[in-house]
Amino acid sequence: MKRILILTADAGFGHRSAANAVAAAFHTAYAGECEIQIANPFEDKHLPPFIRDTQSDYDKIVRQMPDFWKLNYQLSDAPIPVAVIESSMIVLFIRAIRTLIRDFKPDVVITTHMMFMAPLDAYITLRKLPIPIITVVTDMTNIHRIWFYQGVDLCLLPTPEAREQAISQGLAPEIARLTGIPVNPTFAIEQRSKAAIRAELGWAPDVLTALVVGSKRIKKLPSVLNVLNHAGFNLQFALVAGGDDELFTQFKRTEWHSATHIYNFTNQMPQFMRAADLIVSKAGGLTTTEAMACGLPMLIVDVTPGQEEGNAAYVVSNQAGEMARNPLDALEILFHWLYRDHSLLEQRARNALALGQPRSAFQVAELSWQAAEVGRSIQPSRLMTIVPRIKELLRTFEISEIEDN
């Protein structure tokens, strides 16, 4: 029985969704052979409140201060700031890591968030534990260098461009592996036709369908939808507010001029995407990956500054979707996609499908399983160089209990 510990965070949906996808792949591929725990170290009670609150503050900062968020992202994406951040994460999270590893006793640890590699490596190296560390990167290109922590056993990457970036920033080629961002295994398992899925969902089975995915971080969506609602396209809309109650209420109060199906939140996103012909959303790493996994062209209406700009560029450069800077752009793009019997839409769909990796979660599970079977071997030279630095850092901040038995 293998014990799999998956660390994640709840700043946005992507990190948690990737963790859930990997867990589901383990349960499918290794049923009865593994025990899985998904944990969020940000919830540890010993963390300072302002650190625990960074998850809930993420939406607020991105929405209200996007330029500040982008500047912070850019300034921190350099060797010296990253080294400072990693040391800070060791100090902040090593107690939480210690508790999780001691209580669960994992055979492998997978992290879908960039802040946990340094404290994981510090604790596992300090205790000389044979537990491999696997990083699952959840952005597609132009990735922040903090993801490329060199003390991990595997860094699993979403695109060839991301792998090249990882290697250029010091990761060994055998550590930097291409898997795609893990998506729900249902994306690979679901093989029914769009019409059949639509009928089950209560949507018109024979009408072209636009899936619209909102959240608190998509400011431009209402104005884009207002234009599309009055454009006279022969479309039905499936609107998902992403748990944003205010947006959901706005959806419900709008007078729609096309058939419209409205949801505040859904656990059926694989079915929704398989049933749709295009998606209107922001360029989140997981949304982008899920859309590609089922050949869904993206009409991108918003981008979180920093990490999501690379996602949008990847989609656009591979002609799997387009970026709308304003509502008129969205109207023009959709008109071109639907012109001449949807020929451009179908081309965009073929391009998206060529990029998609619907079995990505299974690849992550398989590589992690193999790592768990082999275990981790820490080189003596690394112990001589890393351990004294970790001990000095912990002494400086009066963290003395980590080495206790």
What amino acid is encoded at 328 in this protein?
L
Asked if 86 contacts 114 with a C-beta cutoff of 8 angstroms, the reply is no
* Helical pair 14-29 and 285-293, crossing angle rounded to 10 deg: 40
Edge to edge, what strands does the sheet with 209-213 contain? 260-263, 236-240, 209-213, 278-282, 298-302, 321-323
pLDDT tens-digit profile of 197-243?
999 999 999 999 999 999 877 788 999 999 999 999 999 999 999 98
Q: What is the pLDDT of residue 401?
A: 61
- Please tell me the total number of residues recorded for the chain in this structure: 405
Over range 328-332, report the average pLDDT: 96
pLDDT tier at 107, thresholds 50, 70, 90: very high
Chain-centroid distance, C-alpha 295: 18
What whole-number distance in Å separates Cα of residue 253 and Cα of residue 239?
A: 13
Mean pLDDT, rounded, of the chain: 90
Which contacts of 14-20 are long-range, i.e. CB under 8 A and separated by 24 or more positions? 14/138, 14/181, 14/284, 14/285, 14/286, 14/287, 15/112, 15/113, 15/138, 16/40, 16/112, 17/183, 17/184, 17/286, 18/112, 18/136, 18/138, 18/181, 18/182, 18/183, 18/286, 19/110, 19/112, 20/184
CA of residue 127 relative to chain centroid, distance: 30
Q: All domains of the chain, ordered by start, with CATH?
A: 2-185+359-396 (3.40.50.2000), 192-355 (3.40.50.2000)
Query: What CA–CA distance (Å, rounded) separates 88 from 76?
Result: 13
Residue range 170-203, pLDDT digits in tens: 999 999 999 999 999 999 998 899 999 999 999 9
For 100, residues 6+ apart whose C-beta sits below 8 A from its C-beta are 5, 7, 37, 39, 41
Q: Which of 97, 119, 39 is nearest to 393 (CA)?
A: 119
pLDDT at 380 > cutoff 90:
no
In angstroms, the CA 162 to CA 136 distance is 12
Ramachandran class of 259: left when φ > 0, alpha when ψ lies in -120 to 50, beta otherwise: beta
Phi, psi (rounded to 5 degrees) for 322: -140, 160
List pLDDT tens digits, range 23-67. Answer: 999 999 999 999 999 999 999 887 887 777 665 555 565 565 666
* Of 339, 346, 241, residue with least CA distance to 296: 346
* Look-up of token digits 């992290």: 111
> Two tokens at 68?
């500040």
**What's the pLDDT tens digit per position in 238-281?**
999 998 999 999 999 999 999 999 999 999 999 999 999 999 99
pTM: 0.89
pLDDT at residue 297 is higher than 60:
yes
pLDDT of residue 405: 45
In this predicted model, what pLDDT tens digit does every residue of 137-150 receive, in sequence order? 998 888 999 999 99
**Residues 109-124: pLDDT tens digits?**
999 999 999 999 999 9
